[in-house]
Every structure is written in structure tokens, then in C-alpha cells.
Amino acid sequence: MKEINIAVIPGDGIGPEVIGEGIKILKAIEEKDPEISFSFTEFPWGCEYYLQQGKMMDADGIDRLAKFDAIYLGAVGYPGVPDHISLWDLLLKIRKSFDQYVNLRPITLLHPELTPLKGKSGSDIDFLVIRENSEGEYAGAGDWLYKGKPEEVVLQTGVFSRKGTERIIRYAYEEARKSNRTLTSISKGNALQYSMVFWDEVFEEVGREYPDVETYSYLVDAASLYFVTDPERFEVVVTSNLFGDILTDLGAALTGGLGLAAGANINPERKYPSMFEPIHGSAPDIAGKGLANPLASIWSASQMLDFFGEEEWGRTVLDIMRDLLKEPELLTPDLGGKATTQEVGDRFADML
């Protein structure tokens, strides 16, 4: 019997609505599979908590989360609470404390009509973006000099350590080898002559240990073009924090939008819990109305299943998602339908 202890942070806005449906699916799987058991422990942290208690999470929050196998997060964010608080005091704090240096974003088209691409391009989009999640352009290094003066200068430094660059690239090679896919590195060595030249060198160096993996290396500008004109060429992609952030939103746009985009923040060594979340925010405009699409959070639950070695269930969840997307009456409004968040989750659970 496999027991997976999950810390649940439903968060704000549509977070609790979509996470509720993800948990519904996990519970349905637990019921069908005598070998799996989940425990769910909820934490009320987020912006509402901040407005009442003056803090996004309790002071011992990280210590408490450390005892779990995984964290399942809805969304945090609320009008009136500045992003630097909601983001830094919860999401980024968790990512950093638990050294979740791998961000996994599947870019897979589950139904041909979900892509805005026309013609032959885009019918078979199916790749995985592995984004560096701990340093790079988002390391928070820089300076603000002569503020307000005519000679004002602002510096934002990308930080690429040997350790940080090697480990993400190695993870990507392992993933490509394991799944027998090609590996594409996306960088910008022609303009960023320190960080990206280093990145390219490490990509080549580590690659010598993986002669069996077929590799490509693109500049980020060219890669953005290929994402749109020829997305089928990508299988496994590895890229830096900033480029990964931008490219994965582009990828989401190619495959059905935010209502379908899932992400996993992984600590591969499993020393700390990994975190699974839909990548959308709290969407205050549609919160509390049953309009939110729960498929992104269900998809991130399937990433969790994969991570714990339950790939067969992970695949089953995606197959059901494919079937469900064929039924116009089971689509939420973001996909042009009229179904509610709960209706989608209920029907999904029935189809398991």
C-alpha cells in the first residue's frame, strides 16, 4: 500500500474551487485502487489569511509543510494585496525553502480545436518544458543606483551557478533519455555573452555523458517563432527561469489557455516535498461563480501521480481529459461551454 500525504493550500479566488475538484479525482482513484491511499491536510493560507492575520502563512509554516510528501496548491493572489507579498511570502518561499529547482510544464494539445494555430501546424503538439526554477534572471540580484537622479541606473543580474545550471540540464538529459525523446536547449548566447554562453557550454559538456540523446540548441527568439510555426519539432525542452516563464505561457496559449495549464515544482532528490499547481492565478473576476475550469488543477494532480510512480493513473487522467474535451456540454465557459466547475469534476470522477 502506497500512502501519499498531501498538504493542501487551496488559497484564494478560484483556488479552492478548482482544488476541490482535483481532490475529488484523487479520492475517486483511491477508491478504485486498493494500493493507493491519500491523506489531505488543509492549510488556510493565502491572501485572505493575510488580510485577517497579517501574514500569508504561519511562522512555522515551512516546518509543518516539510513533513508532507507533496503540496497541492490552488492559487494565491487578491486585489489589494501586493504581488510582492502574495508571491514572495508564500509561493516563492515554498519553492525556495524546498529547493524545487525544476519546473515541469507539459505543453500537450488534448483536442485539435483547442489550438489557435490554423492549418497543418499544431495538430500534434506534445512536449515538456523543463524550466530552471531557482536562480537565473529571477535570482533577485541587482541594484538601483542614483534613484531619481539624471544618472539613474538599474541593474538586474542573472545568476547562473555551476551547480544550478548543471543540475537542471542534467535533469533534462535524464528525462529525454528515460522517455527516448529529443532534447532542445533554449538560450541566447549571441546577446547574453556571460550567462547564456555559460549555459550553452554546460549543455554541451553534460551532453557528452548522454551521447544517445539527440539534441538541438535554439536562440530564444527563433524558438518563439518555432513554437508557433512548428511546435511539433519540440519533445523535451530545457531553458532558464525567465525564458521558461515566457515560453510556457506561449505554450499554454497554443494548447487551450490558462484553464488547462498545469505545472509541477519538483525537488528531484525528494529531500523536500514537491509542489503541484495549476499555473493560473486566483482569477478574482470569475471567483465564487462556478465558472472556473478545473482541468488545469486536475492535470497537476496527474503530474503528482506520475511523480509518485503512478504513471498509469497519470495517463488515465489525461485520457479521460481527452474524452471529456470532446463533449461540448462538459466544457466550462473559458472553452466555450456552459458547464460549471463542479459538473466537470463530477463527470470526470464518473469516467474513471
Q: Give the angle subtended at the CA of 256 by the CAs of 84 and 308, to the nearest 5°.
A: 70
Helix H, strand E, coil C: the string for the chain is CEEEEEEEEEECCCHHHHHHHHHHHHHHHHHHCCCEEEEEEECCCCHHHHHHHCCCCCCCHHHHHCCCCEEEEEECCECCECHHHHHHHHHHHHHHHCCCCEEEEEEECCCHHHCCCCCCCCCCCEEEEEEECCCEEEEEEEEEECCCCCCCEEEEEEECCHHHHHHHHHHHHHHHHHHCCCEEEEECCCCCCCHHHHHHHHHHHHHCCCCCCCEEEEEHHHHHHHHHHCHHHCCEEEECHHHHHHHHHHHHHHCCCHHHCEEEEECCCCCCCEEEEECCCCCCCCCCCCCCCCHHHHHHHHHHHHHCCCHHHHHHHHHHHHHHCCCHHHCCHHHCCCCCHHHHHHHHHHHC
231 contacts Mg ion (rule: CB under 5 A): no
Residues of the shown chain interacting with ligand ATP in the complex, contacts defined by CB under 6 A: 14, 18, 75, 77, 258-259, 280-283, 285-286, 292-293, 296, 334
| Residue 281 contacts Mg ion per CB under 5 A | yes
Question: Which three three-digit cell numbers place residue 311?
Answer: 504513471
172 binds, among ligand ATP, Mg ion, none (CB under 5 to 8 A by kind): none
Residue 259 interacting entry, from ligand ATP, Mg ion, none, C-beta within 5 to 8 Å by type: ligand ATP
91 binds, among Mg ion, ligand ATP, none (CB under 5 to 8 A by kind): none
| Rounded Cα–Cα distance for residues 6 and 1 (Å) | 16
Contact 115, 109 (CB under 8 A): yes
- Minimal distance, residue 264 CB to Mg ion, in Å: 18
Q: Which does 253 bind (CB under 5 to 8 A by kind): ligand ATP, Mg ion, none?
A: none
Count of residues of this chain found to bind Mg ion when the rule CB under 5 A is applied: 1
Nearer to ligand ATP, 172 or 260 (CB): 260
Closest distance to ligand ATP from the beta carbon of 248 (Å): 13
Quote the cell numbers at residue 299: 492535470
Q: Are strands 153-159 and 136-145 parallel, antiparallel or unpaired?
A: antiparallel
Asked if 11 is part of the footprint of Mg ion (rule: CB under 5 A), the reply reads no
Closest distance of CB 266 from ligand ATP, Å: 21
User: For residues 163 and 289, which CB has a smaller minimum distance to ligand ATP in the complex?
Assistant: 289
Q: Which C-beta is closer to Mg ion: that of 13 or that of 16?
A: 13
Nearer to ligand ATP by C-beta: 204 or 285? 285
Nearest distance from C-beta of residue 125 to ligand ATP, angstroms: 20
Q: How far is the CB of 42 from Mg ion (least distance, A)?
A: 24
| Position of minimal CB gap to ligand ATP | 281
- By a kind-dependent CB cut-off of 5 to 8 A, residue 75 interacts, out of ligand ATP, Mg ion, none, with ligand ATP
Minimum CB separation of residue 167 from ligand ATP in Å reads: 28
CB of 124 to ligand ATP, least distance (A): 25
Residue 280 touches which member of Mg ion, ligand ATP, none, C-beta under 5-8 Å by kind? ligand ATP
185 interface partner picked from Mg ion, ligand ATP, none, CB below 5 to 8 A per type: none
- Closer residue to ligand ATP, CB minimum distance, 36 or 81: 81
CB of 347: closest distance to ligand ATP in angstroms?
Answer: 16
Question: From the list Mg ion, ligand ATP, none, which binds 236 (C-beta under 5 to 8 Å, kind-based)?
Answer: none
**Amino acid at site 308:** F
Rule CB under 5 A: which residues touch Mg ion?
Answer: 281
